[in-house]
């Protein structure tokens, strides 16, 4: 009989009351399990060992390799020190130990708690062990959430990074102090906007003077910051100015809890209703006085109106600059609507800029749609001439890879918070130290979970397209004789449109339409 040995060590095992207690060390687990296997006369197929992972982490690399090898029948027995080394989740106990392992012909054995699937009499014991471990996870999650909620309700800053314009108070945890150098830029942004300057114009003015954007500022000053992924990451952008002008932190109010976890069993977060946000006034010194703030908010409300009240732009969020990838913004001149690169004017060399009228883009889309309809209805083998989203599988693979990377980091942050809580319970660290250290983990975790939600939404959209199959004939036939587009048609037919710069000396603006079919 071939046996696979699985060992796991988490941070809670490292930080024990007695430094001489190494009963949970990886080396000790291996020695114990190897001796047991030898006494049973089993041949050791492989030793799978995850170091610094919790029993609730489903992304343990060796754990998943163990499951894959089990499914391929590379051994007949899985041996662990105890059931919690394998998993602390009752769901996985039922799925694998009581479900798939018997189907795969795998026997599960854990020494300390005497779990053995070959012994039908101790199935209830295994289930009880799983239930106790599940309670452990749930209680720990509730305790951590309770602590963080209490901190938010009392107006303490919970996050790894202080907002641009502020810095963490070294003498008072959860409190913000004004960073005068950055705060001067914040005041200038609010003042310029109140004087009638637009957000893109303000960004360009800051870039022309060489003022680093918030991320670059933190990097230059040795502060913690999120690694940017976009080109021109050191430049101020329209959205950085827009977010700044709407953030109540600049008038001394703390607003937190905009997102919340779905369950302690999942890494997903979802937006919370505005009534459930934690908003505490006067928690720190304001950078912007209330008169200037109110003036700016009124201007924002006025500028928020679309060209036609209540009407979403025809190509809103659909047109992208082919040069820098940014979503193109709407503008209006003499009753004509245009789309221009939102990155076009932030700095001299930020982007060469794409520009096209909405009417022209509409006609280009209709022309190509008619051409596709004609070709497809005349030919059964359209695939020989036109490629329709043939990269869907590639897109799916990339999104899955992104989600896996985000989930791995989220798991690491969650693990850090859980292990810190264990240290606090054991008295190894104080409650104040726990709150300070866990705050950084929680902030990064929340940010990554938002990215996971967006990626999963994108994945669902791709899956729908793949499952829909080849329904192009029906879709195109519905729109053969269009004279004008509307927003509903654009949403149904178009994923996005890449708009390039006009060819010099001509009136031609190259575009590339990415269809939804």
pLDDT tens readout for residues 429-452: 777 766 766 676 676 677 778 888
Reading the block at residue 111, the tokens are: 């020494």
The yes-or-no verdict on residue 342 having pLDDT over 90 is no
pLDDT of 376: 62
Domain for residue 308, yes or no? no
Mean pLDDT of the chain: 77
Tell me the residue range of the domain where 171 lies. Answer: 157-303
- 136 and 229 both lie in a single domain: no
514: helix, coil or strand? strand
When mean pLDDT is compared over 61-75, 247-261, 330-344, the highest value belongs to 61-75
User: Which carries the bigger pLDDT value, residue 202 or residue 231?
Assistant: 202
User: Would you mind telling me the total number of residues written for the chain in this entry?
Assistant: 517
Domain for residue 219, yes or no? yes
Residue 144 CA to its chain's centroid (Å) = 21
Pairing of strands 355-357, 336-341: antiparallel
- 331 and 257 both lie in a single domain: no
Pick from 454, 442, 452: nearest CA to 404: 452
- 387 and 290 both lie in a single domain: no
Query: Distance (Å, rounded) from C-alpha 261 to C-alpha 100?
Result: 29
Q: Give the CATH number for residue 56.
A: 3.40.50.1390
Q: Cβ distance 5 to 37 under 8 Å?
A: yes
Q: Give the CATH number for residue 198.
A: 3.90.1750.20
User: Which carries the bigger pLDDT value, residue 440 or residue 79?
Assistant: 79
Domain for residue 309, yes or no? no
Q: How far is CA 398 from CA 23, 100, 108, in A?
A: 42, 29, 35
- 166 and 291 both lie in a single domain: yes
- 289 and 177 both lie in a single domain: yes
Q: How confident is the model at residue 104 (pLDDT cuts 50, 70, 90)?
A: very high
φ/ψ of residue 372, rounded to 5: -65, -40
pLDDT of 22: 43
Which residues lie across from 79 on neighbouring strands?
5, 109
Average pLDDT (293-309) is: 71
Reading the block at residue 55, the tokens are: 């029993």
Domain for residue 456, yes or no? yes
- 69 and 201 both lie in a single domain: no
- 386 and 465 both lie in a single domain: yes
Tell me the HSE value of 377 on the side-chain side, using a 13 A CA sphere: 13
Residue 465 CA to its chain's centroid (Å) = 22
Contacts 24+ apart (CB under 8 A), 499-503: 499/319, 499/320, 499/321, 499/322, 499/328, 499/339, 499/354, 499/356, 499/361, 500/322, 500/323, 500/354, 501/322, 501/323, 501/352, 501/353, 501/354, 501/355, 502/355, 502/356
φ/ψ of residue 114, rounded to 5: 55, 45
Q: Which helix (H) or strand (E) holds 8?
A: strand 2-9
Q: Which helix (H) or strand (E) holds 78?
A: strand 77-80
Pick from 494, 467, 254: nearest CA to 366: 494
- 35 and 114 both lie in a single domain: yes
The yes-or-no verdict on residue 178 having pLDDT over 90 is yes
Q: How confident is the model at residue 422 (pLDDT cuts 50, 70, 90)?
A: confident
pLDDT in tens, 213-263: 998 888 888 775 555 544 446 788 888 898 899 999 999 999 887 776 655
332: helix, coil or strand? strand
């Amino acid at each position: 009989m071939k046996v696979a040995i699985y060992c796991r060590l988490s941070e809670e095992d490292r930080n024990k009351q007695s430094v001489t207690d190494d009963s949970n060390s990886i080396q000790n687990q291996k020695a114990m399990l190897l001796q047991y296997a030898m006494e049973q006369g089993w041949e050791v197929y492989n030793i799978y060992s995850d170091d610094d992972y919790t029993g609730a982490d489903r992304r343990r690399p060796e754990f998943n390799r163990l499951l894959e090898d089990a499914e391929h029948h590379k051994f007949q027995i899985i041996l662990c020190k105890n059931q919690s080394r394998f998993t602390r989740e009752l769901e996985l106990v039922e799925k694998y130990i009581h479900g798939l392992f018997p189907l795969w012909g795998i026997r599960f054995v854990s020494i300390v708690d005497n779990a053995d699937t070959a012994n039908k009499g101790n199935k209830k014991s295994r289930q009880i062990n799983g239930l106790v471990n599940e309670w452990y996870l749930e209680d720990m999650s509730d305790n951590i959430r309770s602590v963080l909620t209490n901190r938010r309700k009392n107006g303490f800053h919970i996050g790894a990074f202080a907002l641009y314009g502020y810095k963490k108070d070294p003498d008072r945890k959860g409190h913000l102090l004004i960073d005068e150098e950055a705060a001067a830029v914040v005041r200038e942004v609010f003042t310029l906007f109140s004087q009638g300057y637009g957000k893109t114009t303000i960004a360009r003015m800051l870039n022309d003077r060489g003022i680093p954007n918030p991320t670059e500022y933190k990097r230059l000053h040795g502060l913690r910051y999120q690694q940017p992924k976009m080109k021109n990451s050191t430049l101020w952008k329209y959205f950085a100015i827009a977010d700044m002008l709407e953030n109540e932190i600049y008038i001394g109010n703390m607003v937190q809890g905009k997102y919340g976890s779905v369950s302690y069993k999942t890494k997903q977060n979802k937006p919370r209703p505005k009534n459930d946000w934690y908003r505490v006034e006067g928690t720190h010194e304001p950078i912007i006085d209330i008169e200037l703030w109110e003036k700016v908010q009124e201007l924002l409300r006025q500028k928020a109106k679309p060209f036609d009240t209540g009407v979403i732009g025809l190509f809103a969020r659909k047109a992208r600059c082919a040069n820098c990838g940014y979503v193109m913004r709407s503008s209006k001149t003499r009753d004509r609507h245009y789309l221009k690169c939102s990155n076009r004017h932030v700095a001299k060399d930020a982007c060469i800029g794409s520009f096209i009228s909405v009417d022209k883009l509409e006609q280009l889309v209709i022309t190509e749609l008619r051409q596709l309809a004609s070709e497809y209805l005349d030919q059964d083998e359209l695939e020989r001439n036109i490629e329709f989203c043939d990269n869907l599988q590639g897109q799916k693979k990339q999104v899955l890879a992104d989600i896996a990377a985000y989930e791995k980091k989220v798991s690491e942050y969650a693990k850090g918070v859980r292990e810190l809580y264990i240290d606090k319970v054991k008295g190894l660290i104080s409650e104040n130290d726990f709150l300070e250290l866990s705050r950084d983990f929680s902030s990064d975790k929340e940010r990554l979970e938002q990215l996971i939600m967006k990626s999963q939404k994108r994945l669902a959209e791709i899956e729908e397209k793949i499952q829909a199959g080849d329904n192009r004939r029906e879709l195109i036939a519905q729109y053969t004789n269009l004279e004008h587009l509307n927003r509903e048609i654009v949403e149904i037919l178009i994923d996005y449109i890449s708009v390039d710069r006009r060819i010099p000396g001509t009136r031609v603006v190259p575009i590339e339409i990415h269809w939804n079919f």
